[in-house]
Structure 1
Amino acid sequence: MGIEHSKILARQEVAQGTMAFHIAKPTGFEFRPGQAFEIQLPGTGSETSTEDRVHAFSIVSAPHENELMFATRMRDSVYKRALGAMPVGAALDIDGPFGSLTLHKNLARAAVLIAGGIGITPFMSMLRSAAMRQLPQDLVLLYSNRRPEDAAFLSELQTLEQQYPRFRLKATMTDIAHSAAGWNGDTRTIDGVWLRQAIEGLAEPIFYVAGPPAMVAAMRQILLAAGIDEDDVRSEEFYGY
């Protein structure tokens, strides 16, 4: 669609060290759940490297929502420092949407979403959209974080599970010993045994994996070792989030 102008409407911390930005949705801006866009910061001249002025983010909001949202770990980089310093009302530019990590159209086949950390962002758009439409499709989310404090959108996902009968959330915290929050759920890493338990009874599931590159590579190996056809595995790696 080319460059579109927007502005920051609000911001909120959605996990420790993770900030969500609500931005204005340009007129006519259309996208599919799971797609991404680039956010270009203002006041960045040609002498600034592309890495310091432009960053790609998955779109957290669903297409039916009146605003756009993205979320990111607020790491110590030139771009993240500049983004974090921008006040509500500040202008920025959007380039997009792009990306093909979108849900398959055959609703008879289940979808298994596997997210590590900030890799949850494209799946939030998918799940918000599916819940609003009450799609007759089985959706299972395997969501791995170190601690509940690190798990962005966890409470929203728990609420979605109650509101959308076809959605099932299986979250795990792999470093609960260092958490100050209570947690009564799983604490194991995602392995072949847990995976097979999670997908039992699902109709011909297609798998979607998003997270840090090492996590995505490991999950692909686990899926293939479990006998999943590689044509039924789709993934997206998140660098530097």
Structure 2
Amino acid sequence: MSTSYDVHLLHKKEVAEGTMEFTLEKPKGFEYRAGQFGDLVLPPSTGLTGDNAKHGFSFVSAPFEDTLRMATRMRKTSAFKNAAAQLPDGSMVQLLALWGDFTLHKNPAVPAVFVIGGIGITPVRSIIAQATHEHAPHKITLIYANRTRALAAYTDELQRLAAENKNFTFVPVYTDTQGHVGAATIRQHVADIAASRFYLAGPEGMVKAMRELVLDVGADEDNVRTEEFDGY
């Protein structure tokens, strides 16, 4: 069951080429698990109504942080995204939450492997930042694929988290120079494929391709969790 919150849009900024981040005030007492998401509802002043004024976004922010952050790849053909980008800082928006179970598993003995494309990084940044903050003992590997370095959001921060958290390994892949993530990439960076829990997030086509890939290299089908993003 979701709850509605009226919150201010504090500010917005570009966090990668074509990717915009929105920072919202965090409602008092608002609690969520890293990896979950909510719906952002734009005000009537945008001219959008009903479902056209609403879009679901994973929280980039981690639960320990004092604001809520969401990010999206911008598309000129999206009326919602264009309206959101033009909304003045300080505007009142609505947050409908809480959804999703794309969250880190409890058992620290099971390694976590994130195979992520593009905007799929949003819930993963939350999960890894929270795990680092809590000193979680989980072994975490992130394989993060983008076409170019400029298109990759949060890379600098992920590198800092990897330096801070000895249990976290960050593997950026830029497909324009390194080629796509394939079986060799998984085998090189994942010590025990059969024992690992795989997390796949991003646009639907990418997630389906990555699911086939990790199953082909020996992942346990029961150990594959996915989050497919609509509207990309």
| TM-score category, normalised to shorter length | over 0.9
For the pair 1:223 / 2:214, whether they are aligned, the reply is: yes
Identity %: 41
Q: Which ranges in structure 2 are unaligned for 5 or more consecutive residues?
A: none
1:116 matched to 2:117? The reply is yes
- Deviation, 1:114, is 1.1
Cα distance change on mapping 1:19 and 1:45 into 2, 3 Å: closer
Q: Is the 8 A contact 1:142 1:171 kept in 2?
A: yes
SS at match of 1:142: strand
In terms of mean alpha carbon deviation, does 194-203 or 144-153 score higher? 194-203
User: 4+ residue stretches of structure 1 with deviation over 4 A?
Assistant: 44-47
Describe the shift of the 1:15–1:46 C-alpha distance in structure 2 as closer, same or farther (beyond 3 A): closer
Q: Distance in 2 between matches of 1:11 and 1:46?
A: 20
Aligned mates of 2:50, 2:6 — CA distance in 1: 21
Structure 1 match to 2:43: 42
Kindly indicate whether residue 81 of structure 2 is the aligned counterpart of residue 90 of structure 1: no
Taking the aligned partners of 1:83 and 1:46, their CA distance within structure 2 comes to 11
TM-score in terms of structure 2 length: 0.95
Q: Distance in 1 between matches of 2:202 and 2:12?
A: 23
CA distance in 2, matches of 1:42, 1:197: 48
- 2:58 maps to 1:67: no
User: Does the 8 A contact of 1:192 with 1:223 survive in 2?
Assistant: yes
CA–CA distance in 1 between the matches of 2:219 and 2:195?
A: 10
Q: Deviations over 1:196-240 (max 9, x none)?
A: 111015792100000111111111111111121110000011122
What corresponds to 2:181 in structure 1?
190
The match for 1:200 is 191
Within 5 Å, which residues of 2 pair with 1:1-241?
1-43=2-44, 48-50=49-51, 52-76=52-76, 77-176=78-177, 187-200=178-191, 204-241=195-232
Amino acid at match of 1:78: A
Report SS of the residue matched to 1:127: helix
Partner Cα separation in structure 2 for residue 101 and residue 203 of structure 1: 20
**Amino acid corresponding to residue 89 of structure 1 in structure 2:** G
What displacement does 1:28 show?
1.3
Distance 2:27 2:48 in 1: 28
Deviations 1:52-111 (A, max 9, x none): 200000000000111000001121211011101111101100001110111100011110
Q: How many residues align?
A: 230
- Which structure 1 residue ranges, 5 or more long, are not aligned? 177-186
RMSD between aligned alpha carbons? Answer: 1.7
